[in-house]
Protein backbone atom coordinates (compact mmCIF):
# COMPACT_ATOMS: atom_id res chain seq x y z
CA UNK A 1 0.00 0.00 0.00
CA UNK A 2 2.90 2.30 0.63
CA UNK A 3 3.95 1.88 -2.93
CA UNK A 4 0.51 2.77 -4.20
CA UNK A 5 0.47 5.91 -2.04
CA UNK A 6 3.75 7.03 -3.51
CA UNK A 7 2.58 6.51 -7.08
CA UNK A 8 -0.62 8.43 -6.33
CA UNK A 9 1.40 11.19 -4.72
CA UNK A 10 3.72 11.38 -7.73
CA UNK A 11 0.79 11.45 -10.12
CA UNK A 12 -1.12 14.17 -8.22
CA UNK A 13 1.78 16.41 -7.29
CA UNK A 14 4.30 15.72 -10.07
CA UNK A 15 2.92 14.50 -13.35
CA UNK A 16 -0.42 16.33 -13.48
CA UNK A 17 1.07 19.80 -12.84
CA UNK A 18 3.71 19.08 -15.48
CA UNK A 19 1.12 18.18 -18.09
CA UNK A 20 -1.13 21.12 -17.15
CA UNK A 21 1.89 23.47 -17.37
CA UNK A 22 2.82 22.18 -20.81
CA UNK A 23 -0.71 22.66 -22.08
CA UNK A 24 -0.97 26.17 -20.63
CA UNK A 25 2.21 27.45 -22.35
CA UNK A 26 1.55 28.67 -25.89
CA UNK A 27 3.66 27.41 -28.78
CA UNK A 28 6.65 29.34 -30.14
CA UNK A 29 5.62 32.78 -31.38
CA UNK A 30 6.38 33.67 -34.98
CA UNK A 31 6.74 37.33 -35.95
CA UNK A 32 4.82 38.57 -38.91
CA UNK A 33 7.05 38.75 -41.99
CA UNK A 34 8.06 42.19 -43.28
CA UNK A 35 9.40 42.92 -46.71
CA UNK A 36 11.96 45.63 -47.37
CA UNK A 37 12.24 46.87 -50.92
CA UNK A 38 14.73 49.31 -52.34
CA UNK A 39 16.68 50.29 -55.40
CA UNK A 40 20.42 50.53 -55.85
CA UNK A 41 21.77 52.87 -58.49
CA UNK A 42 25.38 52.63 -59.61
CA UNK A 43 26.19 55.65 -61.74
CA UNK A 44 29.40 54.29 -63.25
CA UNK A 45 27.77 51.28 -64.91
CA UNK A 46 30.53 51.01 -67.49
CA UNK A 47 33.03 50.09 -64.77
CA UNK A 48 30.83 47.48 -63.06
CA UNK A 49 32.17 43.95 -63.45
CA UNK A 50 29.70 41.16 -64.28
CA UNK A 51 30.83 39.31 -61.15
CA UNK A 52 30.13 42.29 -58.86
CA UNK A 53 28.13 41.54 -55.70
CA UNK A 54 26.04 43.97 -53.68
CA UNK A 55 25.85 43.38 -49.94
CA UNK A 56 23.03 45.05 -48.02
CA UNK A 57 22.63 45.06 -44.26
CA UNK A 58 19.50 46.11 -42.43
CA UNK A 59 20.36 47.61 -39.07
CA UNK A 60 18.38 49.70 -36.62
CA UNK A 61 20.67 52.62 -35.85
CA UNK A 62 18.02 55.15 -34.94
CA UNK A 63 18.10 56.99 -31.66
CA UNK A 64 15.04 56.99 -29.45
CA UNK A 65 14.31 60.65 -30.26
CA UNK A 66 15.13 60.50 -33.97
CA UNK A 67 12.31 60.43 -36.53
CA UNK A 68 12.23 57.12 -38.37
CA UNK A 69 9.41 57.62 -40.83
CA UNK A 70 10.76 60.05 -43.43
CA UNK A 71 13.69 59.61 -45.81
CA UNK A 72 16.14 62.50 -45.85
CA UNK A 73 18.21 63.81 -48.71
CA UNK A 74 21.63 65.15 -47.82
CA UNK A 75 23.65 67.19 -50.28
CA UNK A 76 27.40 67.31 -49.75
CA UNK A 77 29.55 70.03 -51.24
CA UNK A 78 33.29 69.46 -51.26
CA UNK A 79 35.25 72.64 -50.70
CA UNK A 80 38.98 72.59 -51.28
CA UNK A 81 40.76 75.64 -49.95
CA UNK A 82 43.07 77.10 -52.52
CA UNK A 83 46.53 78.28 -51.69
CA UNK A 84 46.77 81.88 -50.65
CA UNK A 85 47.64 83.87 -53.73
CA UNK A 86 51.13 85.25 -53.81
CA UNK A 87 51.15 89.01 -53.35
CA UNK A 88 53.10 91.31 -55.60
CA UNK A 89 56.71 92.17 -55.01
CA UNK A 90 56.39 95.09 -57.43
CA UNK A 91 56.13 98.79 -56.59
CA UNK A 92 56.50 98.29 -52.84
CA UNK A 93 59.28 99.55 -50.61
CA UNK A 94 60.62 96.64 -48.56
CA UNK A 95 62.67 96.98 -45.36
CA UNK A 96 65.44 94.39 -44.95
CA UNK A 97 64.88 92.27 -41.81
CA UNK A 98 67.30 89.39 -42.43
CA UNK A 99 70.31 88.81 -44.69
CA UNK A 100 71.85 85.35 -45.14
CA UNK A 101 75.22 85.21 -43.44
CA UNK A 102 74.58 88.32 -41.33
CA UNK A 103 71.35 87.57 -39.47
CA UNK A 104 69.05 90.41 -38.46
CA UNK A 105 69.68 93.72 -40.16
CA UNK A 106 71.21 96.47 -38.04
CA UNK A 107 70.74 100.23 -38.34
CA UNK A 108 70.66 101.90 -40.70
CA UNK A 109 67.99 99.58 -42.13
CA UNK A 110 68.46 98.75 -45.80
CA UNK A 111 65.61 98.88 -48.33
CA UNK A 112 64.67 97.07 -51.55
CA UNK A 113 62.14 97.68 -54.32
CA UNK A 114 61.36 96.43 -57.83
CA UNK A 115 59.48 98.37 -60.50
CA UNK A 116 57.27 96.85 -63.20
CA UNK A 117 59.98 97.78 -65.69
CA UNK A 118 62.39 95.43 -63.91
CA UNK A 119 64.51 98.07 -62.21
CA UNK A 120 65.50 97.03 -58.69
CA UNK A 121 67.40 98.83 -56.00
CA UNK A 122 67.27 100.65 -52.72
CA UNK A 123 69.38 101.97 -49.93
CA UNK A 124 72.00 99.58 -48.57
CA UNK A 125 73.48 99.83 -45.10
CA UNK A 126 75.99 102.30 -46.57
CA UNK A 127 75.40 102.97 -50.28
CA UNK A 128 72.50 103.39 -52.63
CA UNK A 129 72.32 100.41 -55.01
CA UNK A 130 70.62 99.49 -58.28
CA UNK A 131 70.08 96.25 -60.21
CA UNK A 132 68.04 94.53 -62.89
CA UNK A 133 65.27 92.13 -61.83
CA UNK A 134 63.47 89.53 -63.93
CA UNK A 135 60.25 88.19 -62.39
CA UNK A 136 58.25 85.30 -63.85
CA UNK A 137 55.52 83.92 -61.63
CA UNK A 138 57.24 83.18 -58.33
CA UNK A 139 60.77 83.16 -59.74
CA UNK A 140 63.06 86.15 -59.46
CA UNK A 141 66.56 86.78 -60.81
CA UNK A 142 68.52 89.86 -59.76
CA UNK A 143 71.60 90.79 -61.75
CA UNK A 144 73.85 93.72 -62.69
CA UNK A 145 74.05 94.94 -59.09
CA UNK A 146 75.89 98.25 -58.72
CA UNK A 147 76.15 100.92 -56.04
CA UNK A 148 77.58 104.28 -55.13
CA UNK A 149 81.10 104.26 -53.63
CA UNK A 150 80.73 105.75 -50.19
CA UNK A 151 83.00 104.24 -47.52
CA UNK A 152 81.55 103.16 -44.18
CA UNK A 153 82.70 101.22 -41.12
CA UNK A 154 84.00 97.71 -41.91
CA UNK A 155 81.05 95.93 -40.22
CA UNK A 156 78.55 98.05 -42.21
CA UNK A 157 80.43 97.31 -45.44
CA UNK A 158 80.37 93.57 -44.59
CA UNK A 159 76.60 93.73 -44.11
CA UNK A 160 76.20 95.53 -47.44
CA UNK A 161 78.34 92.92 -49.24
CA UNK A 162 76.21 90.14 -47.68
CA UNK A 163 73.05 91.92 -48.93
CA UNK A 164 74.41 92.22 -52.49
CA UNK A 165 75.62 88.58 -52.48
CA UNK A 166 72.20 87.36 -51.30
CA UNK A 167 70.39 89.45 -53.94
CA UNK A 168 72.61 87.88 -56.62
CA UNK A 169 71.57 84.36 -55.42
CA UNK A 170 67.81 85.12 -55.54
CA UNK A 171 65.81 82.43 -57.35
CA UNK A 172 62.26 82.52 -55.94
CA UNK A 173 60.08 84.67 -53.73
CA UNK A 174 56.89 84.61 -51.72
CA UNK A 175 54.82 87.54 -50.46
CA UNK A 176 52.36 86.95 -47.62
CA UNK A 177 51.04 89.02 -44.71
CA UNK A 178 53.24 92.00 -45.49
CA UNK A 179 56.43 89.92 -45.66
CA UNK A 180 58.67 89.21 -48.65
CA UNK A 181 60.81 86.07 -48.47
CA UNK A 182 63.49 85.47 -51.10
CA UNK A 183 65.04 82.01 -51.44
CA UNK A 184 68.02 80.67 -53.37
CA UNK A 185 67.91 77.93 -56.03
CA UNK A 186 67.81 75.26 -53.28
CA UNK A 187 64.74 76.87 -51.67
CA UNK A 188 66.74 78.13 -48.66
CA UNK A 189 65.62 81.49 -47.25
CA UNK A 190 68.35 84.06 -47.90
CA UNK A 191 66.50 87.39 -47.51
CA UNK A 192 63.50 88.49 -45.47
CA UNK A 193 61.76 91.87 -45.78
CA UNK A 194 58.83 93.72 -44.21
CA UNK A 195 56.62 96.08 -46.20
CA UNK A 196 57.34 99.72 -45.36
CA UNK A 197 54.29 101.63 -44.13
pLDDT digits (tens, 9 = 90+) for 108-165: 789 999 999 999 999 999 999 999 999 999 999 999 999 999 999 999 899 999 999 9
Statement: residue 31 has pLDDT above 90:
no
List C-alpha distances in Å: 131 to 2, 102, 117, 143, 147. 131, 21, 12, 6, 9
Residue 82 has pLDDT above 60, yes or no: no
Fold of the domain spanning 94-195: Lipocalin (2.40.128)
Predicted confidence (pLDDT) at residue 85 exceeds the cutoff of 50? no
CB neighbours (10 Å) of residue 175? 20
Contact present, 94 and 115 (Cβ < 8 Å): no
- pTM metric for this prediction: 0.55
- CA dist 146 and 165 (Å) reads 12
Amino acid sequence: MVMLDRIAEFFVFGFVPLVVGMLAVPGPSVAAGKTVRGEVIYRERIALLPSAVLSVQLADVSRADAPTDAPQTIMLKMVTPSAEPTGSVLDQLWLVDYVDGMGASTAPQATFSVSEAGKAGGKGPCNTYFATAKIDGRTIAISDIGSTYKACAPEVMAEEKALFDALAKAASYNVAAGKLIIADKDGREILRFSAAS
